[in-house]
Amino acid sequence: MRILIPIVLLLAFAAAPAAALDRKPRKKRKARTETPVQMAPAPQAAPMPEPEPTLDSAALLPPPERVDDLTLGLSAAQADSLVAAWSERQRQEAFRAFFENYVLVDPPAGDTTPDSVYTHRLRALASPVQLPYNAIVRGYINRYVDSRYGTIGRILGMSQYYFPLIEDELIRSGLPVELRALPVIESALSPTAISPMGAAGLWQFMPSTGKSYGLEVNSLVDERRDPIRSTEAACRFLKDLYAIYNDWTLAIAAYNCGPGNVNKAIARSGGKTFWDIYDYLPRETRGYVPAFIGASYAYAYHRQHGIQPVAAPVPLSVDTLRISRLMHLEQIASTIDVKMETLRQLNPQYKLDIIPATTKTYTLVLPQRNVAQYIAREAEILAKDSMYLKEYIDPANLDKKRQERTGTVYTVKRGDTLGAIARRYRVTTAQLMRWNKLKSAHKLRIGQRLRIEGR
């Protein structure tokens, strides 16, 4: 055992220098692996230096023209088309949202609907215009929501075009927007409607009343049929009537029969409200306020009666141009992609299709999609004046054209009956049959065009 211990110690001392020799090379190898990290990159691995710009480089050229963020490089016609699509979507959405967000939703009503339901619904239409419910009002509600007539469906379709411009003017004038129902009961939203007494347009102005409120009425132009100008005049007229009576039902009655008749009814009855003087008013005016309430109800609650809007026959997105030269609408229809009937519907104030812009400018309403097309081809349109206006220089030709255009044309739609069309235009079925040479009142076809004389 004593011999083994010195041997072990001797071996241990001998191994120590060997271990030290083994560790030194490892340190050198470790140093070699770290050295390249600190060294500069090899020449062949260095990135190529960027060339310095020269005097004729692209940097000295003017920057490319910035694309307008609004049009995104689209042509004027394409931009107009996008604006039209946006505008139509806005109107349709506003129409839909009104009934979904602001009108009470309850189960569909039938003939057995109790009076309390109608009363509750009318009260829900909070308005400065009183909308009471009684048996007379119910009779007019039933008339408007009766599917056999089809009146409110067509009115709902037209309202998407006319109500926004009517509401804008009512709000601008500080009047209740519920007064939009007045042109519904006056003309069923037909700007070419003419009463047997000679009242015309959406708001059914008599010529003298229209002129007193600044509307132009002559052989070529009848601004009573202009939706914008007639609405402005109607708002001024309604403000004057409300200033007299300080009561909207009396003002509405006076709009129909004149303040003189309302004053006489007040004097004879001693009453102060429409229902107080009801029996003393002219027969037509007695139903005027109830009809107004019925139309307001039918517009708001048509869904509860299963009524669907008919598509509007006019473009919902339009724009207005100022015309400073005599022009026939055919000059436009024969040049750009707009039908003559569309031009007439959008510009009903021009009785003979002539814009008489000789001493002042007049408006021309076009579908939004066609405005850029009109501007691009305006010179070509104006150059056609001699082609389309020569026949109107002779006064005899003017009289002939006036006789040809003293009517309107109605296109038969699904569900129409001759009786319903006659009631809509306040004529008789016999007259419609005579004007259109119809042998049977029960044989109408969809798309058939019926002429209504004297409209």
Angle between helices 227-245 and 151-172 (to 10 degrees): 70
Please give the Cα distance from 164 to 177 (Å, whole number). 10
Say which residue the tokens 């039938």 belong to.
Answer: 110
Please give the Cα distance from 319 to 334 (Å, whole number). 19
Please give the Cα distance from 207 to 224 (Å, whole number). 8
- What single DSSP character describes residue 268? H
**169, 178, 186, 223: which one is catalytic?**
186
State the amino acid at position 275 in one-letter form.
Answer: W
186 an active-site residue? yes
Q: What φ, ψ does residue 19 adopt, rounded to 5°?
A: -65, -35
Please give the Cα distance from 406 to 318 (Å, whole number). 26
131 CB-contact burial (10 Å; exposed 0-12 / middle 13-18 / buried 19+): buried
Q: Which two tokens stand for residue 48?
A: 């190529």
Of 442, 33, 426, give the one whose Cα is nearest residue 204: 426
Please give the Cα distance from 246 to 454 (Å, whole number). 37
Sign of CA dihedral 96, 101, 103, 108: positive
* Residue 127 exposure: Cα atoms within 13 Å on the Cβ side: 25
Give catalytic residues, as residue numbers: 186
